[in-house]
Amino acid sequence: MDTVVAIRGVTKRYGPLVAVDGIDLGIRRGEIFGLLGPNGAGKTTLISMIAGLLRPTSGEISVLGHDVVREYRETRRAIGLVPQEINFDPFFNVEETLRMQAGYFGVRLAEERLVEILGALDLLSKRTTNSRALSGGMKRRLLIGKALVHDPAVLFLDEPTAGVDVELRRSLWSYVRRLRERGTTIVLTTHYLEEAEELADRIGVIDRGRLLVVEDKDALLSRHGAKVLRLSLARPIASLPAPLVAVGARLDAGGSVVTFEASTGDAFGPLLAAVADAGLAVGDVETRRTTLEDVFVRLVSRDRGEATA
Ligand code: ATP
């Protein structure tokens, strides 16, 4: 397997705080890697180190075989970074912003490529609009455009569709897939787990600076059960009765929802019997297939030692 980004034993400390804690990870050529984690997990810190914007306290990172600290110029050129925060000069228009960014990398932005990027981001009609006069969602799209002008081998997308409307979110997803088909490796960070489920080939979950899991998305989903049963309780409870904990149920939504994940519908029988034995009054029942969000919540809450399966 062709590794594009190799992360070996990387730690980042801020005084006593260990923001990234001994991470080993390889990002493969041409994949969409979903890096997920709660607020403060260490995602931005890790990505900033890969992009050479932050130095690891220890460990090594290479991009296309080049060390990101010692060979910063080579690695920076291989990377496109879409940050969470808007970082362009409001005095330039859309086209000027992209041309300046290309100039920064010493690349001449051909008309054809400019039109392709603007078209994919639905910004063609805004080509000569001052970036100050763009809507929030358009500004985010321009950020993506900026990261693409030098045709990077690896694109880091941090919350790419935050504040973007539904229709455009779908068209951005299809553009991200097209980039992958052309060979671009994509690292996606998002709190919007439906987006990761839709796009990612592999998932890494990070919490408190440590990688909890790195796995093929489909394998991860099937390993964590195929179906979810959600029982809304008529009266919230303070803690889950032991027989329900024993069958693997979880208490959510402040004690008002019992959630149970199973690989087959057969497993629901013992659960329902335990609910009846415990005398819980059920107000509503819902079943659905397991989502990445279910898996994510389970992994993170387990890591934090909360009551889970
Ligand atoms: P979010 O989803 O909220 O963007 P994240 O996973 O990107 O979170 P990071 O921004 O990487 O999280 O932060 C990881 C930890 O490092 C947090 O506890 C944060 O407060 C801390 N941290 C980040 N930057 C600094 C800094 N410059 N100085 C001190 N602590 C920092």
Q: What is the pLDDT along the chain (309 residues), one digit of tens a residue?
A: 599 999 999 999 999 999 999 999 999 999 999 999 999 999 999 999 999 999 999 999 999 999 999 999 889 999 999 887 777 777 899 999 999 999 988 899 999 999 999 998 889 999 999 999 998 888 888 998 999 999 999 999 988 887 778 888 888 888 899 899 989 999 999 888 999 999 999 999 999 999 999 999 998 988 876 788 899 999 999 999 999 998 889 999 899 999 988 876 567 888 888 999 999 999 999 988 888 998 898 888 888 876 444
| 42 and 138 assigned to the same domain | yes
Cα of 45 to ligand 1 centre, how many Å? 6
| 103 and 236 assigned to the same domain | no
Residue with the nearest Cα to atom 20 of ligand 1?
A: 40
Residue with the nearest Cα to atom 11 of ligand 1?
A: 42
Q: What is the C-alpha to C-alpha distance for residues 32 and 200, in angstroms, rounded to an integer?
A: 5
232: in domain: yes
Domain boundary among 198, 222, 246: 222
| 211 and 242 assigned to the same domain | no
| 194 and 236 assigned to the same domain | no
Report the CATH number at residue 216.
3.40.50.300
The strand pair at 185-189 and 154-158 is best described as parallel
**In which domain, by residue range, is 115 found?**
3-222
Q: What is the C-alpha to C-alpha distance for residues 204 and 194, in angstroms, rounded to an integer?
A: 15
| 148 and 236 assigned to the same domain | no
| 76 and 140 assigned to the same domain | yes
Cα of 43 to ligand 1 centre, how many Å? 8
What's this model's pTM, rounded to 2 decimal places?
Answer: 0.82
Cα of 13 to ligand 1 centre, how many Å? 10
Domain boundary among 202, 222, 242: 222
Residue with the nearest Cα to atom 16 of ligand 1?
A: 19
| 284 and 246 assigned to the same domain | yes
Ligand 1 within 6 A of 202 CB? Answer: no
* Residue 170 exposure: Cα atoms within 13 Å on the Cβ side: 2
Q: What is the C-alpha to C-alpha distance for residues 52 and 71, in angstroms, rounded to an integer?
A: 9
| 186 and 240 assigned to the same domain | no
- Taking only Cα atoms into account, the Rg of the chain, rounded to an integer number of angstroms, comes to 22
Contact 23, 7 (CB under 8 A): yes
Cα of 223 to ligand 1 centre, how many Å? 30
Ligand 1 within 6 A of 39 CB? Answer: yes
Q: What is the C-alpha to C-alpha distance for residues 129 and 125, in angstroms, rounded to an integer?
A: 8
pLDDT digits (tens, 9 = 90+) for 40-86: 999 999 999 999 999 999 999 999 999 999 999 889 999 999 887 77
Count up the domains in the chain and report the number: 2
| 52 and 17 assigned to the same domain | yes
